[in-house]
């Protein structure tokens, strides 16, 4: 009888002794929050990122993920990071603006006309923007994109004048959106993202703005009829971690986290662009009417509106010298693209 009892005990002891040889136990957990929902491209890529750092670290490092906004919207999440309740976040431009207001330039209305301009801007400015993040006690793990944002409405919008009749939603507290709509002559209705679908259903608003992919994910497309072809802005995104948490990691884990962050966020940007392009076609097939904006005067009107909005934020989000430098980077790039080879 004693021998029967002894055998399982010895087996258990042997198994326990073998565990350290199979892989080190997780020593460092990063609590991560995002608005992205399970099953979305954003969350799928982030889970790939998590799997990669777990594998490379031998299981010593990993994320604990709070998806779908369970920790609140961007401003709530950034506050919780500063309180030490969570450590890291996948955020939109609203969230990066909580780190440094000048980062909101990435979401400025009608600043970028295409993805080539976005990529060029990041190639020139990322080092400076990353340093700005670091100066404000965060570490940039990777820039990403929500994608170009379009205006969705229940009445056709073909130009600036038509915007004045829209009961437009605005993300509550978003200074960039507020400046854009003021320049367009709109008094928007501020509210949380989670209230938009219901408000479209009840008619409290009849216009909203988001990326094509997000319009499908959030089901806003089921409550609007039209989509204007001229994008309002390129909505930025990023994954950041509190500097205090990052500094507490061993150097080898910091390197794994940074390298994979840049890799997977670049992949997210690529996949997001592909899926946004596909989503436009899906929206059209599902009955959304595409309002083409090609008239040169109308395009110029929107560009002028964007410049007015960006200028109105000088002294609030950034200084004049910074705005001038940003606009010159893009002006010079456009000039090189127009120059015959």
- Residue 69 within a domain: yes
**Residue 115 above 70 pLDDT?**
yes
**Domains in the chain: how many in total?**
1
Find the domain containing 43 and state its range. Answer: 27-338
- Residue 298 within a domain: yes
Among 35-39, 195-199, 334-338, top mean pLDDT goes to 195-199
More confident residue, 310 or 23: 310
Please check whether residue 77 is in contact with residue 95, taking contact to mean a CB–CB distance below 8 angstroms: yes
- Residue 22 within a domain: no
d(CA 275, CA 108): 23
Candidates 222, 263, 207; CA nearest to 239 is: 263
- Residue 279 within a domain: yes
- Residue 161 within a domain: yes
**Residue 216 above 50 pLDDT?**
yes
- Residue 317 within a domain: yes
pTM of the model: 0.86
Give one DSSP letter per residue of 179-212, joined into a string: HHHHHTT---EEE-GGGHHHHHHHTS-SEEEE-H
- Residue 86 within a domain: yes
Q: What pLDDT sits at residue 294?
A: 84
The percent of residues above 70 in pLDDT, for the chain, comes to 92
d(CA 211, CA 278): 12
> In the block, which residue shows the tokens 């662009």?
273
Q: What pLDDT sits at residue 14?
A: 34
Q: What pLDDT sits at residue 217?
A: 86
65-68: list long-range contacts, CB under 8 Å, 24+ apart. Answer: 65/32, 65/33, 65/34, 66/31, 66/32, 66/33, 66/34, 67/33, 67/34, 67/36, 67/37, 67/38, 67/43, 68/35, 68/36, 68/37, 68/38
**Residue 16 above 70 pLDDT?**
no
- Residue 127 within a domain: yes
CATH label of the domain that carries residue 84: 3.40.190.170
């Amino acid at each position: 009888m004693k021998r029967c009892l002894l055998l399982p005990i010895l087996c258990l002891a042997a198994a326990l002794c073998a565990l350290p040889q199979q892989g080190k136990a997780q020593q460092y957990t990063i609590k991560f929050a995002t608005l992205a929902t399970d099953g979305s491209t954003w969350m799928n890529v982030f889970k790939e990122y998590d799997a990669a750092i777990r594998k490379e670290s031998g299981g010593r490092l990993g994320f604990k993920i709070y998806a779908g906004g369970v920790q609140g919207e961007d401003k709530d999440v950034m506050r919780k990071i500063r309180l030490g309740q969570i450590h890291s976040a996948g955020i939109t431009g609203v969230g990066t603006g909580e780190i440094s207001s000048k980062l909101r330039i990435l979401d400025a209305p009608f600043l970028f006309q295409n993805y080539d301009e976005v990529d060029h801007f990041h190639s020139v400015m990322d080092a400076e923007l990353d340093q700005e993040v670091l100066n404000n006690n965060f570490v940039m793990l990777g820039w990403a994109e929500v994608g170009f944002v379009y205006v969705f409405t229940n009445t056709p919008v073909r130009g600036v004048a038509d915007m004045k009749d829209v009961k437009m939603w605005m993300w509550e507290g978003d200074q960039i959106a507020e400046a854009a709509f003021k320049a367009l002559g709109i008094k928007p209705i501020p509210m949380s993202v989670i209230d938009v679908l219901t408000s479209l259903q009840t008619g409290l608003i009849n216009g909203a703005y988001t990326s094509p992919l997000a319009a499908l994910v959030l089901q806003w497309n089921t409550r609007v009829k039209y989509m204007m072809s001229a994008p309002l802005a390129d909505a930025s995104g990023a994954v950041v971690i509190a500097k205090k948490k990052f500094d507490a990691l061993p150097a080898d884990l910091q390197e794994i986290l940074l390298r994979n962050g840049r890799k997977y966020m670049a992949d997210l940007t690529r996949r997001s662009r592909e899926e946004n392009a596909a989503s436009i076609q899906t929206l059209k097939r599902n009955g959304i009417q595409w309002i083409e904006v090609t008239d040169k005067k109308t395009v110029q009107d929107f560009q002028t509106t964007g410049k007015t909005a960006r200028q109105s934020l000088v002294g609030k989000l950034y200084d004049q010298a910074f705005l001038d430098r940003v606009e010159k980077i893009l002006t010079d790039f456009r000039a090189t693209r127009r120059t015959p080879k």
